[in-house]
Amino acid sequence: MDRSSSFPARKLEHDSGGDAAAAPSLEHWLVGFCTIRFDLEQGQVVEECYPAGALSQEEELDVAFSSFPDSMANSRASKDFGVHDTVFFFRTQRQEEQREERRRGQKYLYGFVFNRQRYDAKLKRGGEQKSVLVLSELPLYCVFKPLVELLGPLYFENGVAALEQAALHMSRWPRPRFGTMMELMLGKVVIKSHLPPLHTLPPGPGASRDGFTSAMAPVSPSNRSVPQSIFHDVNLYGVFKGLLGHLWTLWELLLIGEPLLVISPTPSQCCEAVAGLISLIAPLPCSVDFRPYFTIHDPGFASLNSCTEEDRIPPMILGVTNVFFLKALKMFPHVLSVGACGSLDRKKVAGKATSQGRLQKQIQLVRRLYPANLLARKEGPLCLMGEHREALWTTHSPATKGDVQVLNRLVNAEPSLCIEESTSVVNNDALRRHFLELTTNFLAPFGPYLRASTPQEGISPFLGPPPLPPFDALTFLEALAGRGPGKFLSKRSNTHWLNLYRQFLEGPNFMPWFQRRRAVAEQEQHRLWRDACNKADVRVFLRKMTEVEVVDSFNAVERHLAEEIEVSRESGIDFNKTNAFEKITGDLKAIFEFLPKDLQELMYLNPQRAKFLHL
């Protein structure tokens, strides 16, 4: 790959009347923009990179090789149109040794691609192709996909000026407000997107947990106005309508973090399928490595290619379009083939067949869906080398049963493309509601370990909150085996349901989710007890306390005071002038006065403690 010079970074000026606080730097959203051209002799050539130096040389190579379909043959069905546009996205690991500063601890780079292939018999190989990229460390599919869909055509019409103008408009965007609806202006166009909650984002290695717990107040899954996944915009029915009977098996594979290879005819179908799978287990965040579009040029391919059938594949979801991977990565225990070739032609003749027959086939599949009848028992995924077909090959024995009632509720589309698209939205909503409820009920038994408690009447809040119940996997499984998985899951599972919980506990998704939710519960519990302290009269409780309890209360209030002072300092607030300061220092002094004289003298030996008592 070669690289031409990046166009110079230009200082973006805000309107003179703009509010500086409301117009933060572009870097809150993006790493940058790139345009990459495929040259027959030089290979991938990075023509523009804005701002200059946004990527290291190694990262430019990774991005360039991930920005094109594996071959123009993928779009042979559209050659008659002369120009074919494709939108997809990829995820690649950032080169940490090249980054002096790891902003927000992120380790992955997300590239949203607008690829244009132009067919011309006069050109070498009959055509040329070029890609426009939006690069970010945030997987905000709901923002960057529509952004690159707008930016791509503008670039091919206006050139580099389109990128500069886009950067100018985006520099005026407010900071991302996770979990809220945002209206983002790009010229006269409004990108209206509901950002996912912060806790749904996959944290990178070394990321501070405080950054995630600060905005992680649990959102009820019944609140459908708040997205529960980073890929909540993906149409599950549109992507998996040919594999509906396998969705429950796929849900289990994602839940327990099994390695899964996803193959599709085109990059757009491939990345949509991977994103859809990740969103299938919402509200549980997916903590496995996922690559929506993976190529042989990815730095991780060499290590995967060296694995043997005896080696254990690390938890990951790989999306590919090149059938070469079926041979190179044949050690993958689960392979999903999704999407249809010639989708453009298929849409033209959509009126020739209704969806009624397809849904009936899916329902019949669910009724006879047992491991012995899966296609994996009949022939392997290498059959895709000759002809693409939608199928699932897996060694997993599912514990849940496909829900025939859910499939029966799906709306059958009339023989019209317009009506089929509208019913697809309705069916997607039905599937999302079901799997959200399924995951929520699966996680419900962990609730007692993640529930904050408030002080009971007569119990002093000044002693500090008790610890959350300790969690032990073996004890949890024994208790769960005795009481069962609950009514919702009991109707939809077989005798292997307890093994599914065991696999989940051992898998990569459980501990990150449990630790995050545990941190939120602890944070909420401390807040509830602090509020109780602010409303309570400490002198009422002191008369009933033992000397040990009085000392414990002093230490708890002292920690509370230190925390409040630190938070105020970071926020730039003068804590000494607040009502909370007067209440906490008053409680501390009241407890101190209740201590025996000898203990008071010992307390004064600590300079920091003495300082608090004289505030």
Amino acid at 187: G
Give the pLDDT of residue 463: 77
Helix axes of 247-256 and 417-443: crossing angle, nearest 10 degrees:
40
591 falls within a domain: yes
Tokens of 451: 């529930």
The answer on pLDDT for 470 being more than 70 is: yes
Higher pLDDT, residue 527 or 105: 527
Residues 227, 300 within the same domain: yes
pTM greater than the 0.85 cutoff:
no
How do residues 539-549 score in pLDDT, each as one tens digit? 888 888 888 88
| Lowest-confidence region among 118-122, 204-208, 395-399, 415-419 | 204-208
How do residues 424-442 score in pLDDT, each as one tens digit? 888 999 999 999 999 999 9
Give the pLDDT of residue 341: 75
Give CA–CA dist 24/30, Å, rounded.
12
Residues 338, 228 within the same domain: yes
φ, ψ at 517 (rounded to 5°): -65, -35
Residues 149, 185 within the same domain: yes
Give the pLDDT of residue 22: 31
Whether the ω angle into residue 285 lies within 30 degrees of 0, i.e. cis, is no
Amino acid at 516: R
Span between the terminal Cα atoms of the chain, in Å: 65
The answer on pLDDT for 215 being more than 50 is: no
Query: What is the 8-class DSSP label of residue 452?
Result: -
Tokens of 463: 């002693």
Give the pLDDT of residue 363: 56
What's the rounded mean pLDDT across residues 464-468? 85
- Tell me the residue range of the domain where 592 lies: 537-613
Strand partners, 334: 394
How do residues 182-207 score in pLDDT, each as one tens digit? 999 998 899 999 999 988 888 654 34
What's the rounded mean pLDDT across residues 284-308? 89
453 falls within a domain: no
Give CA–CA dist 268/153, Å, rounded.
17
Give the pLDDT of residue 574: 73
The answer on pLDDT for 173 being more than 80 is: yes
For the four alpha carbons of 496, 500, 502 and 507, in that order, the dihedral sign comes to positive
Contact 213, 519 (CB under 8 A): yes
Give the pLDDT of residue 540: 81
What is the average pLDDT value for the chain, to the nearest integer? Answer: 80
Give the pLDDT of residue 418: 57
Report strand pairing: 316-320 vs 108-119.
unpaired
Strand partners, 319: 262
Residues 152, 253 within the same domain: no
Tokens of 594: 């209740």
Residues 274, 134 within the same domain: no
Residues 103, 12 within the same domain: yes
Query: Which has the closest alpha carbon to 356: 431, 294, 415?
Result: 415
How do residues 150-167 score in pLDDT, each as one tens digit? 999 999 999 989 998 999
The answer on pLDDT for 530 being more than 60 is: yes
Give the pLDDT of residue 213: 44
Q: What is the DSSP string of 284-298?
A: SPP-SEEESS--TTS
Of 160, 195, 230, the residue that ends a domain is 195
56 falls within a domain: yes
73 falls within a domain: yes
Of 463, 482, 514, the residue that ends a domain is 514
Helix axes of 510-535 and 497-506: crossing angle, nearest 10 degrees:
80
Contact 269, 69 (CB under 8 A): no
Give CA–CA dist 43/21, Å, rounded.
43
279 falls within a domain: yes
Residues 96, 19 within the same domain: yes
CATH number reported for the structural domain that contains residue 97 in this entry: 3.30.450.200
Contact 63, 36 (CB under 8 A): yes
Residues 6, 149 within the same domain: yes
Confidence class of residue 136 from pLDDT cuts 50, 70 and 90?
Answer: very high
Higher pLDDT, residue 71 or 500: 500
209 falls within a domain: no
| Lowest-confidence region among 33-37, 109-113, 364-368 | 364-368
Residues 143, 242 within the same domain: no
Q: How many CB atoms lie within 10 A of CB 315?
A: 18
SS3 per-residue string spanning 142-179 = HHHHHHHHHHHHHHHHHCHHHHHHHHHHHCCCCCCCCC
Residues 158, 251 within the same domain: no
Residues 226, 182 within the same domain: no
Q: What is the DSSP string of 124-139?
A: GGGEEEEEEEEEESS-
Q: How far is CA 459 from CA 464, 498, 541, in A?
A: 10, 39, 8
Give CA–CA dist 111/551, Å, rounded.
56
Q: What is the total residue count of the chain?
A: 615
The answer on pLDDT for 251 being more than 80 is: yes
467 falls within a domain: no
The answer on pLDDT for 52 being more than 90 is: no
What's the rounded mean pLDDT across residues 519-529? 89
Residues 503, 550 within the same domain: no
Tokens of 562: 């230190």
How do residues 365-409 score in pLDDT, each as one tens digit? 554 444 434 444 467 888 888 888 999 999 999 999 888 888 888
Give the total number of structural domains in the chain.
Answer: 3
454 falls within a domain: no
What's the rounded mean pLDDT across residues 398-422? 75
Share of the chain above pLDDT 90, in %: 40
Contact 170, 176 (CB under 8 A): no
Query: Which has the closest alpha carbon to 201: 285, 275, 136?
Result: 285
Of 514, 547, 570, the residue that ends a domain is 514
Give CA–CA dist 439/398, Å, rounded.
15
Cβ neighbours for 565, distance < 8 A, ≥ 6 positions apart: 575
Give the pLDDT of residue 353: 45
The answer on pLDDT for 274 being more than 90 is: yes
Give the pLDDT of residue 237: 93
Give the pLDDT of residue 43: 77
What's the rounded mean pLDDT across residues 57-77? 74
Give CA–CA dist 412/189, Å, rounded.
34
3-state secondary structure of 260: strand
CATH number reported for the structural domain that contains residue 262 in this entry: 3.40.50.11500
Give the pLDDT of residue 221: 53
φ, ψ at 93 (rounded to 5°): -75, 135
3-state secondary structure of 553: helix
